[in-house]
Amino acid sequence: MLRKFWLVLVVLACAAAFFWWSSLEKPAASASPAAPARTAANEPANPLPPVTETPAPDPGQPAPPQAMRTPVTPGMIIHTTDPAAIAARQPDPPRGPAVPPDAARDEADNVALNLRQYGNRFGGNPAGTNAEIVKALNGGNPQGVRFLPPELLRLNEQGELVDRWDTPYFFHQMSADHMEVRSAGPDKTLWTSDDIVTR
């Protein structure tokens, strides 16, 4: 009985050694002769992008301020009483002689865009004076929708929408669904060469 036990043990040890030896030989035997050996001259098939290290922020330095601006979709009414949101609101853009011409044109384009949004919703532009048009855009319409976002809602004492130079915009009704928006520009005089006109 003891002899059979040792015989089985020897057979199992030999089988384990054989399997271990064959597993070591397989990678070398299964290598494809068609695959070229990779040398320093060969480029890798899938090069990895270089790793760029981002320097860790200095704990002694405060983090740079991030612009916090809530996107405003024309036609949406936005109310907030959150003090943090009010404090994070960006200051008014520059006005007067320091106004970049592109910024003033972008603002006039945004006013025209909100007029088109109103026209698409109600089937035509609001009519009347500057103050009447602003009232219609700012909730005085059948559905009470406000089309002017807070950054565009800059009014004078008469309730007129003014440009970056505090001059009221001139709204020219060209058709029922087409309106021209004119800013008097830096000289604050309409119908001169520096006027900003958009439709």
- The string of pLDDT tens digits covering residues 138-154 is 999 999 999 989 888 89
Q: Give the DSSP letter of residue 142.
A: T
User: What pLDDT, in 10s, does the model give residues 43-86?
Assistant: 555 555 555 555 655 666 655 555 444 444 444 444 455 555 55
Average pLDDT over residues 191-197: 92
Helix H or strand E segment including 182: strand 178-183
pTM: 0.51
Classify burial at 105, counting beta carbons within 10 Å of its beta carbon; exposed 0-12, middle 13-18, buried 19 or more: middle
Return the CATH architecture of domain 96-198: 2-Layer Sandwich (3.30)
| 3-class secondary structure, 181 | strand
d(CA 126, CA 107): 19
